[in-house]
Structure 1
Amino acid sequence: MTHPLHPALVHFPIACWSLATAADIASLRWAEPAWRFAGTLMAIGVVIAIAAMAAGLVELRKIGENTAAMRDANRHLLLAMAAWFLYATSLFLRLKGMSLTQPDALCLAFSVAGFLVLCATGWLGGKLVYVHGLGGQRRRQ
C-alpha cells in the first residue's frame, strides 16, 4: 500500500472522543441521553484507536533514528497512548458490568483531560506531516 493507513484511521477515534467529551459536558444539562451517547462513543473510540495506533507503529519504523522527526514522533506516540489511557479509564469507571452508568466528576475529569491530550497529540501529528513531511509521497517528474 502506498498510502499510509494511520492518517485514514485516526479520524475515527478523534471524532468519537471529541464528541464524547462534548456529550459528557452536555450531560450536565441533558442527563442520560447525553452520557449514554458519550459512553458509546468513548467505547468505539477506544477500540478503533488500537487499530490506529498499530498503523502508526508501522509508520514509525520508516522514520530515521536520532532525528527531530523521531523525537516528535515519540512525543506523538506517548501522548496518543496517554489519550487512550484517559478515555479508557473514563469508560471503565462508568461501566457497571457491561452497562453504562451515569459518569461522576472523576469520569468527566478523565474525559476532559483526554480531550486536552488528544488536542496536543493531533497538533504533533500535524507537525509530523506538515513540518517533517512524513506520510506523503513525493511526485516524480
Structure 2
Amino acid sequence: MKHPLHPALVHFPVACWSLATLADLASLRWAPAWHYAGPLMAAGVVTALAAMAAGFVELLKLDADHPANADAYRHMLLAMTALCCYGASLFLRLEGMTFTRPDAIGIAVGAAGFIALCLTGWLGGKLVYVHGVGVGRTRAPGSKDGDRPSRTT
C-alpha cells in the first residue's frame, strides 16, 4: 500500500470507546444509556487489536535512531493502556454473555481509558504533524531537482 493502514483503522476504536464513555456518563442521568456502552466497548476492543497490529507494523518501519521513536513508544504504551482500561471495564460489566449495568468502578476504569485514549490521539497527531511519520514525500509534477518535495498522505 502507498499509505499506512494504521490511521485508517484507529477511527473505529476511537469512535466506539468515546461513545461508550459518553453512554456510561449519560447513564448517570438517563438509566437506559448504559445498554449501549458494553457493545461499543466490545467493538472498540476488537477493532483496536487490528489498529494496534497495523500500528506495530508502522513502528517496525522506523529506524532505530529516528527522532520519533520516544513518542512512538509512548503512543503505543498509552494505546495499550486504553485497551486494558476498556477491556477491564468491559469485563466488569459482563455476566455470562450479557452486559449488566456498570458500577462506579466500571465507569471510572472506562473514563481512565478515555483519558489514555485522548493522550494517545494527541501523540499520534504529534507523530504525523511534527515528526512526519507516515507522510509520503513526492516531487510535485513539473518540479525541478532543487525544489522542495510536496507532502502527500
Query: Under TM normalisation by the shorter chain, which class is it?
Result: over 0.9
Indicate the residue corresponding to 1:47 in structure 2.
46
> Could you tell me how far apart the structure 1 residues matched to 2:55 and 2:68 are?
14
When the two chains are superposed, the root-mean-square deviation of aligned CA atoms in Å is 0.8
Deviations 1:15-66 (A, max 9, x none): 110110011000011113x111011110000000000000001000111113
> Could you tell me how far apart the structure 2 residues matched to 1:52 and 1:64 are?
21
Give TM-score, length-normalised by structure 2: 0.89
Deviation of 1:136 after TM superposition, in Å, equals: 1.4
Indicate the residue corresponding to 1:10 in structure 2.
10
> Could you tell me how far apart the structure 1 residues matched to 2:97 and 2:22 are?
23
Higher relative contact order (CA 8 A, sep 6+): 1
Hey, which of these two has a bigger chunk of helix by percent? 1
> Could you tell me how far apart the structure 2 residues matched to 1:64 and 1:125 are?
18
Amino acid across the alignment from 1:79: L
Q: Between the two proteins, what is the percent identity of the paired residues?
A: 66
Q: How many residues are paired up?
A: 140
Give TM-score, length-normalised by structure 1: 0.97
Q: List 4+ stretches of structure 1 deviating above 4 A.
A: none
Indicate the residue corresponding to 2:22 in structure 1.
22
> Could you tell me how far apart the structure 1 residues matched to 2:132 and 2:40 are?
31
> Could you tell me how far apart the structure 2 residues matched to 1:4 and 1:117 are?
23
